[in-house]
Amino acid sequence: MPTPVWPYSWPSKDITFKIDSGTTYYNAAASRWNNATNVTMTSGDSDVFIAKEVNAGETGWDGISQRSSSGSEITGCTVKLNTFYTSQEKYTEEIIKGIATHEFGHALGLKHSDEGPDKTIMYPNTFSADKVRVTTPQQPDIEAINGKYSSGLQAAPLDVDTEYSVITPHYTTNYEGYICDADVIVEGIVESAGDGSEHTFGDDKDTSLIYTDFDINVKVVYDGSIPCGMLTVHQMGGKYGGKEHKVEGSTPFTIGQRVLLHLRWLNGHYYLINEDEGVHIKQCGHEYVNVKTNNKMHKLTFLQQLEEIKNARK
Ligand SMILES: [Zn+2]
């Protein structure tokens, strides 16, 4: 099955991008797509497609792609590598080239695919429990691009999309990993949503992204030393500057939902661990459903895992 796509494309198969920094990685990314597919990405002068490196700090993402579109056409794109992560020892040159290739996949109009880290360059996580994502376009990715840049185009649903590569501090995708990574685990009711706001990591305006603050009325604290009552969660995406900033893998909360949240405390805010992966919706009875995977989890299983992690910490 081809990798999923957004319903918009660049108006031509010949695409020029401008490299501000990270030349080696972005040139490698372009040749990987050029060699495998029918698009031709060329480094040169562009006002609308920029590729760069920034130090955005401990954001949870090592690469990001932000696109704007009009109708079925992509009208602008900025791709960033976050040197806070890519300067770490575990990030080899080949892995960083792979992240640049993943982000250029988004820039061409590809969505994430959950087929597996060894099956598609568009797998969301750079590092999984036992694997590093492939670093070149695979057959489903190639089919998706060739299909997209040879067939008719559909209308775009939104003005702006943001996509990102998620990483977790322990480089694991299993549930125990989220418990380990969480500063607090709470269950509560979504009370209200604020307006979207621009959030800058560090002093660099270049690192800013749109976040929405949700107020959660916390009923149970499973882990972490905080009181019950109101807690604000900083969720990626939202309405800002007359546009909807939709983030793949970040589903806005609904007022009145009862949610189980795995949160990290960073730069003065609570953030969801891996966005949708850190959210479970409470069902009738004692079951929870993970927003990203749709996997069901019984409350007893959750409590048992939590207990094991807590014991292991002692
Ligand atoms: Zn991505």
* pLDDT digits 0-9 by tens, 149-200: 985 555 455 667 777 777 766 665 566 777 788 899 999 999 999 989 988 7
Distance 307 CA to ligand 1 centre (A): 33
Asked if residue 36 lies in contact with residue 142, where contact means CB atoms within 8 angstroms, the answer is yes
**Ligand 1: centre distance to CA 261 (Å):** 22
Q: Ligand 1 centroid to 211 CA: how many Å?
A: 18
CB atoms within 10 A of CB 185: 21
Alpha helical stretches, state H, 56-138:
83-86, 93-108
Q: State the pLDDT at residue 171.
A: 61
Quickly state the pLDDT bin for 203 (edges 50, 70, 90): low
Interval 264-295: pLDDT, tens: 988 788 999 888 989 999 998 899 999 988 99
Which residues touch 192 (CB under 8 Å, ≥6 apart)?
214, 215, 255
263 CA from centroid of ligand 1 (Å): 21
Tell me, in angstroms, the distance from the centre of ligand 1 to residue 165's CA.
4
Query: 61 CA distance to ligand 1 centroid (A)?
Result: 9
Query: What spacing in Å lies between the alpha carbon of 45 and ligand 1's midpoint?
Result: 25
Poorest-pLDDT segment among 36-45, 123-132, 272-281, 294-303: 123-132
Q: How far is CA 181 from CA 177, 231, 288, 310, in A?
A: 6, 19, 19, 12
Ligand 1 (ion): which residues have CB within 5 A?
163, 165
pTM above threshold 0.85: yes
Q: How long a stretch of residues is the chain?
A: 314
**Percent of the chain's residues with pLDDT above 70:** 94
Say if residue 303's pLDDT is above 60: yes
Q: 136-146, pLDDT tens digit by residue?
A: 999 999 999 99
User: Which pLDDT value is given to residue 151?
Assistant: 57
pLDDT of residue 194: 92
Q: How are strands ordered across the β-sheet holding 160-166?
A: 40-43, 14-19, 49-54, 73-82, 61-70, 160-166, 243-247, 238-240
Res 137: pLDDT? 98
Q: Is the dihedral of CA 251, 254, 259, 264 positive or negative?
A: positive
Ligand 1 centre to CA of 249 (Å) is 9
pLDDT at site 169? 61
Q: Give the model's pLDDT for residue 202.
A: 65
Cα(286) to ligand 1 centroid in Å equals 33
Alpha-carbon torsion angle 250, 255, 260, 266, nearest 10: 60
CA of 272 to the centre of ligand 1 (A): 17
Rounded distance from Cα 64 to ligand 1 centre (Å): 7
pLDDT at 71: 79
- Structural domains of the chain in order of their starting residue, each with its CATH number: 14-166 (3.40.390.10), 175-313 (2.40.50.120)
